Structure 1
Amino acid sequence: MPKVHRLCLVGFGNVGQAFARLLLKKAPELAVRYGVSATVTGIITGSHGAAINPEGLNLEAALDVYETGKKLDALSTVDPPEEAQTFIRTCPAEFMFEVTPVDPHRGQPALQTIKTALSAGMHVITANKGPVVHGYQALTELAKQQGLRFMFESAVMDGAPIFSLFRQPLVGANLLGFEGILNSCTNLLLGLMEAGKTFEEALDYGRSIGITETDPSNDVDGWDAAIKVAALVTALMGIPLTPQEVDRTGIRGITPEMLAEAKLAGERWKLVCSAEHSPNGLVARVSPQRVGPESPLYAVNGTSSYCQFKLDVLPGLGILEYNPGPETTAYGLLADFLNILEVQ
């Protein structure tokens, strides 16, 4: 008989819904292969209400309700609190999945939400970069004190195994630096502009496929890339770093003429993310750069991401994620969940 584990979801946007669909799809496999039954007992959203059912919510019904723009409250068997902190304390669950939008500057309110869940005795899994950057040490220590885990595989490069790679297969290796393309939106925009679209036309296309936000500033001005650099440096290199401390330049200054000139020279413009040790300390940077065919970054197209790591025992190890979407981010959440269960 599969062991039942109760899950609470804070956030039910694209990633939260993709995770719900993945749980439904994987339910038979989880039961047979891992002896696990994942039951979602609570969901709270920013604009579609909340629902709690200690026996487990009907995820298909939750997805249908959300898609029609209605409130989730109708699925609840108790009166659900509308405030996230109270909701977490009320929801009967052992795992809290935090999938709300990122605040690159302070990491709130997700940071406080995660503290509340850990204090309430829940393992925490998040796809949110903000708490990783602005609260990594405090949250990790709190989780350890509580005998719990704080996991965040999906915070950078969606579901690609980066953080878990350094926890397990690369145990004993020291990260000296990295370089890569970590922002899907700007990589897509630069490619479209290289093909002849204007900046605004590229933005409109990005919005039409759900890659670009209505306000693209976080992506275009390099903030999303900077917080990803900060997350990797903080968690993998052991150096606390905020996005404000990253030397950051976005892509607003890249003109069609610059793209055409690079193309004639056999090169391409990419928004390159990097960090490395130097004699004067850590150098962390986000900046548009011209790269040639000899660079692994040259062939990273569309919404794909790539990161090459420099280790003391491996001179170059690269991870490529091809055109990720909410489904790949959802997989990272599931992978963290299963990794926690295998550790217990």
Structure 2
Amino acid sequence: MRDLQIEYRITGIASRRLGWLADPKGLSVASGAGALAREGLPASQATNVRDWLHATQADVLFEATSLNVTSGEPAIDHIHAALEMGAHAITANKGTVVHAYQELRALAASKHRRFLFESTVMDGAPIFSLFDTLPAIHLRGFRGILNSTTNTILSGMEQGLSFEQSLKHAQEIGIAETDPTHDVEGWDATVKVAALVIVLMGVPVKLNAINREGISGLTAEAVRAARAEGNPYKLVCRAQRDGAVV
């Protein structure tokens, strides 16, 4: 941020561990020092996201809760509250796009604020913002690997590890979550497909309309045999437009 000559201050932090911290003058947060300590940081009287946002007087909300595949909450409520109160909203939570994209986009426009979600798919790769700059493009389909966790696990299995050993390695190097269910059962990939279809193809697809398949049922023997035959297993995501549907 300093390289871009952007001045900022952190006026609030909210988490299950820290509670609702707020100081519109700015919180003193040491960077690179590991986990934040609760002591010494000012608690607010807030008991919900709206009271907390009011206490922070924030211009921008960075929303980073875990994915809720079923409903997208509480991330949707957090984004909704921020936009209603006049703050820009930035999130890495795919649930906000899959379950409430049109609603949140319309709310942001009505408040003259931004609802940004670039890192929901392919991390920092400029997928959504690229298409914003190329309005004449009509996306007919896509195909590719969108989940790095399964790719890492399958690579480890090809090299001789069991599924469990490869998963543990992926967790140790920070790629796999502590609970890898969303990744290995294909939910993360499914939600990413839905996000791309909804935003880039303009089709309000539901998750239950997407064929989902994970990798948890694969054995190490099958994975190594497929690699030896030149047809390795990969969790490939794809969508294809067919008239007005995908």
Match of 2:116 among 137, 151, 171: 151
1:82, distance to aligned residue in structure 2 (A)? 4.1
Aligned partner of 2:14 in structure 1 is 44
RMSD: 1.8
Which residue of 1 is the match for residue 65 of structure 2? Answer: 100
- Tell me the residue number matched to 2:208: 244
Aligned runs of 1:97-176 on 2, under 5 Å? Answer: 97-168=62-133, 170-176=134-140
Aligned-residue offset at 1:107: 0.2
* Cα offset, 1:86, TM superposition: 2.1
What residue is the counterpart of 1:264 in the other structure?
228
Higher relative strand content: 1
**Structure 1: runs of 5 or more not aligned:** 1-25, 283-344
For these two proteins, the number of residue pairs brought into alignment is 246
Deviations 1:169-218 (A, max 9, x none): x2211111101111111010000001110011011111211222232111
What is the distance in 2 between the residues matched to 1:48 and 1:202? 33
Q: What TM-score does the superposition give when structure 1 sets the normalisation length?
A: 0.68
Q: Deviations over 1:126-155 (max 9, x none)?
A: 111001110000000011111111110011
Determine if the alignment matches structure 1 residue 188 to structure 2 residue 152: yes
Distance 1:253 1:100 in 2: 29
Does 1:57 find its partner at 2:60?
Answer: no
AA in 1 matched with 2:221: E
Tell me how far 1:103 sits from its aligned partner.
Answer: 0.8
SS of structure 2 residue aligned to 1:171: coil
CA contact (8 A) 2:157 2:224 kept: no
Q: 1:279 to 1:238 in 2, by over 3 A?
A: closer
Q: Where does structure 2 lack aligned partners over 5 or more consecutive residues? A: none
User: TM-score if structure 2 supplies the norm length?
Assistant: 0.93
- Relative contact order (alpha carbons < 8 A, sep ≥ 6): 1 or 2 greater? 1
Indicate whether 1:75 and 2:41 are aligned.
Answer: yes
Alpha-carbon contact 1:51-1:74 (below 8 Å) kept: no
1:242-292, Cα deviation, whole Å (9 max, x unpaired)? 32221001112222232222222222110000111136931xxxxxxxxxx
Q: Which amino acid aligns with 1:54?
A: P
